[in-house]
Amino acid sequence: MKIEFGESVTEWGKYGFAEPKIVFNGEPTGFKAIVQEDRLIKVLTDRYHLYPNEEALKVANKAAKLAGLRRFTADTPGMRNEKHVVYSNDGNRMRALFMLKGDHKVDSEVVNLGVNVYNSIDGTTSFGAGLFTFREMCSNGVIWGKQDIRTVRHAHTIGLAKVIEAMKGAMVLLMEEAIGVVESYRRMAQVKVQEDLVNRLNDSYLSKKILPEYVTEKEVALPDVTEWDLYNDVTEAIWHNEKTGLKSKAFQFTTLHKIMPIVPRRI
């Protein structure tokens, strides 16, 4: 029984990547290793298309400039922060943050609207963009939604300019939808929390550690707070949790938005 690396074919040698095929007893397995320098990142199927974070960031920065977005720096606990980019601690996943110029107010609080561009080199996420909001009062951000940019599969064939244009288009659409997010936030600020919402939060996969006591304590009376207040208490706990990384935070935001949907305006 013999397992070995076979031929390595990669477009991204300039970033130190290799993608050797995995061979078992001289036969192809349909799997390959993603290696950078002397680090084994992941074993994935031959169908996986590697797109380096360096390339994703290059596209994101140029597309954001064309779309009129500014880079946004957020000190995000539990992650590696490098200016406007947050990385998982192992460097495999990234999100670059960009904001629309100007701000919006929800219940007299300043809320910034923007886009987060995501990518990974370990197969956990594709290359794409989603929405991002940042509440200045408690310095907590929220990420959700996704629009994969599939043109990167043919980046070397179609050229960098077309990938940038595809990302710019996604950013523009997301920013148009983001206005609907503010409208949803404002509606939430007018609605009191009801028992059904409390029950759904308690029955969800969200950790009780990020839910406020007025939600988890059964003996406590139904809180006299708005859905906006509750939403901010939960998102603040998710964002500022130093023990969770990029993948866990994204999962928790996704779970929360299934319970408390934020519906963007459709164009």
pLDDT in tens, 211-249: 998 888 876 677 889 999 999 999 999 988 888 888 888
Alpha helices (H) along the chain: 53-67, 155-158, 160-188, 195-202, 213-216, 227-239, 246-259
Residue 112 CB burial class (10 angstroms; 0-12, 13-18, ≥19): buried
Q: How does DSSP classify residue 218?
A: T
Closest CA to 15 of 162, 164, 158, 119: 119
CA distance 163 to 11: 16
Percent of the chain residues topping a pLDDT of 90: 47
**Structure tokens of 267?**
């164009």
The Cβ of residue 264 has, within 10 Å, a number of other Cβ atoms equal to 19
Mean of pLDDT values over 73-95:
89
Task: Work out whether the CA dihedral 245, 246, 247, 251 comes out positive or negative.
Answer: positive
Is pLDDT above 80 for 263? Answer: no
Give the mean model confidence (pLDDT) for residues 45-63.
93
Distance between CA atoms of 126 and 120, rounded to whole angstroms? 6
Q: Please, which pLDDT band fits residue 266 given cuts at 50, 70 and 90?
A: very low
What is the pLDDT at residue 108? 84
Instruction: Average the pLDDT over 127-147 and give the result.
Output: 77
C-alpha span between 193 and 220 (Å, rounded): 14
| 8-17, 35-44, 64-73, 97-106, range with the lowest pLDDT | 97-106
Q: How far is CA 182 from the centre of its chain?
A: 19
Give per-residue pLDDT as tens, 100-117.
887 788 888 888 888 999
**Mean pLDDT across 142-148:** 67
Query: What are the beta bridge partners of residue 131?
Result: 115, 144
pTM attached to this predicted model: 0.84
Query: Which of 165, 82, 96 minimizes the C-alpha distance to 125?
Result: 96
Q: Classify the C-alpha dihedral 105-111-116-122 as positive or negative.
A: negative
User: Count of CB atoms within 10 A of residue 93's CB?
Assistant: 22
Q: How far is CA 15 from the centre of its chain?
A: 23
Greater pLDDT, 179 or 44:
44
What is the residue extent of each domain of the chain?
A: 3-45, 53-178, 188-259
So what's the pLDDT on residue 155? 53
47 secondary structure, DSSP code: T
Measured distance CA(102)–CA(173) in Å, rounded:
18
**Quick check: 156 pLDDT over 60?**
no
Average pLDDT over residues 191-198: 93
